[in-house]
């Protein structure tokens, strides 16, 4: 008797799963506040130069710019070392406190980029730790590590220390959410996974995004905001009192008795009575399976040895890099469009909910390739139009239109991010899926290192980040056309299957425009644990 059948008898959607979903929601709030602390602490308000008062009392005989002033007497331009900021409700960001603007604007980009360096190493380290000590303790450790990085950042006063603490904070970027995702995935009924993993994610993640700017305004400074964002992470210390370790992980480690005890406790919480013979058969099944199981000879590097799989792998790497960079930049680039960046960031955070519903409604109709391509193409067009509007329209007179375009761009990139996760999981063969997804995540976050510098281009010419990202998204949409469709197909199990998967399929094949084939149907796979 396998795990799924025993879990069904113990309850795969009962009181324990309700507790699990609530804590999953709490983790998503922590995760969103943690990831976008990058944005909240670095908002740069409108500013103007303040000339030296001893030379220019009350600003006489000068023409004031944002980064310099011109002495009208000799017509010489002088760089500024003091500024007047138009603070949002009195909120002081790190850029206003440390004057990281104009010639020193690069300092913010450098410091923030170390966040993504940390995310690459953290994904590798905590992913490995989860396989060694378990999902639950690794989830707690990664969450506390990210919170520690945010907390330490609140005390820095120089670029080197800011870079170091942002690196520590970035260590938990991906695993904080993913390890909790795994626990939900493994203990939730397959019929309820779409709701549990997508709707709960969308609702609670958007809550974290929408409340963050108002918390920042309420506490008044970026340092206090980091305290407010990091201290709730201490709540994960209660998780061992409410949650159990992954029973499937315990089985892979040969801890059959402990896995059985875990399932018995879940059955008790769910009010189920399960006969002892069920657990005896369960243990016998996995003992025999472990004794007879032979380790697969497939490795991730094997995906680079054959022509078609090598092409798929490189394309998935490129798409991950494009989507990660676009997601970060579009989510953070909220300034200079005529609306308070705090309000714009908060209000556009609601797009996560309709994005989740859109994926659920259309993914199985137009297909994985069609969804991935359409979302990237739509995002590219929206971002390009937004860049054009920023360059040609006066933000003061067209703030509402620009805000709507920013919201549409954010909606499109969230859709692309969600569609990419499932599409990649289905293309990569089962035998290397866990390692493959892990490596794709690492490549994506490694390229996220560039996002702070791309945003910095906006200080040279405001539409430049939008232009750059729209080009990347167009390239991503074109790359999707070279990948095979996975909807209603038997997914590849081995590298050999992957090499012949989709052979003969035209680049313009989309299931919504063709009759259903007679190919064996395999249920869509959720993002795999690693």
Please determine whether the domains at 1-46+86-273+285-293 and 299-530 fall in the same fold group of CATH. yes
Q: Which of 108, 84, 113, 106 is nearest to 94 (CA)?
A: 108
Residue 72 makes CB contacts below 8 A (sequence gap 6+) with 61, 62, 63
pLDDT digits (tens, 9 = 90+) for 223-249: 999 999 999 999 999 999 999 998 888
Q: What's the pLDDT at 5?
A: 86
pLDDT at 406 over 50: yes
Decide if 406 contacts 346 (C-beta within 8 A): no
pLDDT digits (tens, 9 = 90+) for 453-475: 888 888 788 888 889 999 999 99
Residue with tokens 């922590």: 30
pLDDT at 335 over 90: no
Q: What's the pLDDT at 58?
A: 67
pLDDT at 526 over 70: no
Burial (CB count within 10 angstroms: exposed 0-12, middle 13-18, buried 19+), residue 86? exposed
β-strands 47-49, 62-64 pairing: unpaired
Torsion (CA) 273, 277, 282, 283 in degrees, nearest 10: 120
CA 214 to chain centroid: 22
Phi, psi of 315 (to 5 degrees): -65, -40
- Compute the average pLDDT of residues 2-23: 89
Q: How far apart are the first and last CA of the chain?
A: 25
Q: What's the pLDDT at 489?
A: 83
CATH 1.10.10.60 fits 299-530, yes or no: no
pLDDT at 517 over 50: no
- Compute the average pLDDT of residues 150-174: 93
pLDDT digits (tens, 9 = 90+) for 166-200: 999 999 887 888 788 878 877 887 677 667 777 88
CA 519 to chain centroid: 34
Write down the CATH number for the domain with range 1-46+86-273+285-293.
Answer: 1.20.1250.20
β-strands 68-71, 76-79 pairing: antiparallel
CA 48 to chain centroid: 35
Torsion (CA) 86, 89, 90, 94 in degrees, nearest 10: -80
pLDDT digits (tens, 9 = 90+) for 282-319: 888 878 777 765 555 677 788 888 899 999 999 999 99
d(CA 158, CA 469): 30
Q: Which of 143, 151, 144, 148 is nearest to 226 (CA)?
A: 151
Neighbours of 453 (CB within 10 A): 14
- The residues spanned by each domain of the chain are 1-46+86-273+285-293, 299-530
Q: For the chain, how many helices (H) and strands (E)?
A: 24, 5
Residue with tokens 């490549």: 443
Positive or negative, the CA dihedral 237, 239, 242, 245 is negative
């Amino acid at each position: 008797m396998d795990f799924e059948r025993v879990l069904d008898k113990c309850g795969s959607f009962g009181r324990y799963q309700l507790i699990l979903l609530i804590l999953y929601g709490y983790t998503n709030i922590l995760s969103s506040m943690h990831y976008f602390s990058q944005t909240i602490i670095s908002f740069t308000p409108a500013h103007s130069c303040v000339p030296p008062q001893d030379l220019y009392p009350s600003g006489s005989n000068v023409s004031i710019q944002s980064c310099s002033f011109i002495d009208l007497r000799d017509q010489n331009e002088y760089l500024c070392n003091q500024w007047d900021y138009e603070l949002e409700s009195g909120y002081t960001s790190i850029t206003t406190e440390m004057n990281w603007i104009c010639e020193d604007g690069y300092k913010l980009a450098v410091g923030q980029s170390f966040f993504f360096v940390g995310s690459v190493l953290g994904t590798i380290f905590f992913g490995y730790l989860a396989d060694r000590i378990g999902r639950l303790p690794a989830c707690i450790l990664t969450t506390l590590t990210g919170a520690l990085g945010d907390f330490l950042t609140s005390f820095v006063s120089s670029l080197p220390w800011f870079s170091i603490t942002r690196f520590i904070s970035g260590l938990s970027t991906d695993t904080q959410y993913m390890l909790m995702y795994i626990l939900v995935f493994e203990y939730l009924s397959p019929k309820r996974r779409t709701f549990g993993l997508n709707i709960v994610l969308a609702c609670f993640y958007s809550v974290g995004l929408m409340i963050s700017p108002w918390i920042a305004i309420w506490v008044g400074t970026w340092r206090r905001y980091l305290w407010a964002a990091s201290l709730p992470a201490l709540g994960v210390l209660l998780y061992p009192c409410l949650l159990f370790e992954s029973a499937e992980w315990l089985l892979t480690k040969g801890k059959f008795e402990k896995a059985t005890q875990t399932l018995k406790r879940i059955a008790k919480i769910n009010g189920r009575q399960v006969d002892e013979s069920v657990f005896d058969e369960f243990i016998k099944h996995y003992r025999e399976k472990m004794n007879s199981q032979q380790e697969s000879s497939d490795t991730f590097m094997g995906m680079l040895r054959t022509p078609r799989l090598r092409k798929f792998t490189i394309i998935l790497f490129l798409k991950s890099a494009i989507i990660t960079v676009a997601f970060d930049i579009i989510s953070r680039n909220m300034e200079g469009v005529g609306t308070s960046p705090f309000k714009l960031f908060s209000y556009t955070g609601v797009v996560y909910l309709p994005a989740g519903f859109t994926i659920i409604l259309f993914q199985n109709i137009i297909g994985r390739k069609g969804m991935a391509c359409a979302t990237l193409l739509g995002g590219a067009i929206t971002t390009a139009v937004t860049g054009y509007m920023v360059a040609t329209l006066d933000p003061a007179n067209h703030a509402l239109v620009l805000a709507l375009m920013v919201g549409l761009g954010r909606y499109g990139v969230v859709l692309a991010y969600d569609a990419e996760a499932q599409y990649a999981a289905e293309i990569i063969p089962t035998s290397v899926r866990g390692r493959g997804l892990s490596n794709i995540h690492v490549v994506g976050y490694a390229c996220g290192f560039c996002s702070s510098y791309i945003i910095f281009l906006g200080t040279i010419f405001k539409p430049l980040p939008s232009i750059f990202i729209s080009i990347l998204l167009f390239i991503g949409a074109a790359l999707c056309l070279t990948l095979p469709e996975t909807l209603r197909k038997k997914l590849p199990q081995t590298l050999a299957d992957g090499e012949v998967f989709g052979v003969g399929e035209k680049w313009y094949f989309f299931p919504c425009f063709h009759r259903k084939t007679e190919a064996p149907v395999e249920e869509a796979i959720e993002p795999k644990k690693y």
